[in-house]
Amino acid sequence: MNDAPSTSRSRLGSIGAPRENAFPAALRHTTRVARLRWFMLWGVGGIVAVVAVIVGFQFLRFLPIDLRFAHIAMKGSRITIESPKLVGYRPDGRPYELRAKVGIQDMSTPDLFELEELDVRLDSGPDQEVLLKSATGLYDSKKDRADLSGGVRIYDDKSYELLLESAVMDFKASTLTSERHSTLNLNGGKIWGNSVEVVQGERRLTFVGGVHSVLYGDDGETAAKTP
C-alpha cells in the first residue's frame, strides 16, 4: 500500500537527475546534413559536366573532317580545344592539314571553330607542298572554308611568298581570295595590288586594282618597274 510514495519519489528523482547533453548529437546531425548537401551539389555538378562533355563529343564526332586534339575543356557552352589538328580532302583527292594552337567551338554553332595561330599544309603535287600561316581564323566545317585575319603568309619555301592582311580560303574549291592589300615576293622581284585571287588547280594568281611590279636584275639592282 506504500507504492504511491515510492513512485512519486522516483519521478522526482528522474526530474532532478542530470540530463545527457544534447549539443554533441545536434552538432553531429548538422555535420551530416552539411556533408550530404555538399555531396549532392558536387554530384549534380559532375553529372552536368559529364553530359556537357558527351554532347560536345557528339558535335565533334559528326564533323566532315578528321579532328584530333591534345586536350579539351568546357566553359558554359564553349569548348576549348588545345592543339587541334583537322585533316580533310579536296575534290581532287589531295589532302590538307590544318593545325592551330587553340580552337574554340560554341555548341550553339558547332560548325564554326575560332582558331589561333593557324598552320595549314596543302598537298599540291608530287613532292610539292604549299604552306599557309595566319594569326587567327574562323573555320566553317560545313562549308569547308576559313576566314583568315591578323596577317596571312602563303609560301612554298622555294620560289614565292604571298603576304596578305586577310583572306578567305576555300578548301573545296582550292581557292584563296583577298580584298585587301597583297604582296607577292618572287626570286626575281615582287608584285603587289589591292586584291588577289589564287586558284591552285589552275596554278593561277591574279591581282586586281593598283597593281605594281618590280623586277630585279642579276646584280640585284632594279631592272624594271611597271605601274
Kindly write down the DSSP assignment for every residue of 186-200, as one continuous string.
ETTEEEEESEEEEET
Does 2 fall in a domain? no
Answer yes or no: is 46 within a domain.
no
Q: Between 60 and 159, whose confidence is greater?
A: 159
Name 146's Cβ contacts closer than 8 Å, sequence gap at least 6.
98, 115, 118, 120, 134, 137, 138, 139, 140, 168, 169, 171
Tally of domains within the chain: 1
Q: Is the pLDDT of residue 198 over 80?
A: yes
Whole domain around residue 81: which residue ranges?
63-226
120-127, long-range: CB within 8 Å, 24+ apart, which pairs? Answer: 120/96, 120/146, 120/169, 121/96, 121/97, 122/94, 122/96, 122/174, 122/200, 123/94, 123/95, 123/96, 124/94, 124/156, 124/200
Between residues 124 and 200, the one the model is more confident about: 200
In a domain, 55, yes or no: no
The closest of 150, 192, 208, 141 to 171, measured between CA atoms, is 141
Q: Is residue 128 part of a domain?
A: yes
User: In angstroms, rounded to a whole number, what is the distance separating the alpha carbons of residues 112 and 131?
Assistant: 22
Decide if 49 is inside a domain. no
Select the more confidently predicted residue: 98 or 89.
Answer: 98
State which H helix or E strand residue 206 sits in.
Answer: strand 204-208
Residue 167 CA to residue 55 CA, distance in Å, equals 32
Q: Which of 16-20, 59-63, 76-80 has the lowest mean pLDDT?
A: 59-63
Kindly tell me if the per-residue pLDDT of 18 is higher than 60: no
pLDDT at 86 over 90: no
What is the per-residue pLDDT for 116? 94
pLDDT at 140 over 80: yes
User: What's the CATH code of the domain at 174?
Assistant: 2.60.450
Where residue 52 falls among pLDDT bands split at 50, 70, 90? very low
Nearest residue to 88 via CA among 68, 104, 102: 68
Residue 111 has pLDDT above 90, yes or no: no
Q: Does 145 have pLDDT greater than 80?
A: yes
Q: Is the pLDDT of residue 104 over 70?
A: yes
pLDDT at residue number 70: 57
Scored b (16 or more CB within 10 A) or e, 81-102 reads beebbbebbbeeeeebebbbee
pLDDT above 90 (res 12):
no
pLDDT of residue 62: 41
> Could you tell me if residue 36 is inside a domain?
no
Residue 224 is predicted with a pLDDT of: 52
Q: Looking at the predicted structure, is the pLDDT value of residue 2 above 80?
A: no
Query: CB neighbours (10 Å) of residue 16?
Result: 7
Per-residue pLDDT band at 211 (split at 50, 70, 90): very high
Can you give the pLDDT at residue 178? 95
| Secondary structure class of 109 (helix, strand, coil) | coil
- Classify residue 142: in a domain, yes or no: yes
Q: Considering the chain, what is the average pLDDT of its residues?
A: 75
| Residue at 126 is within a domain | yes
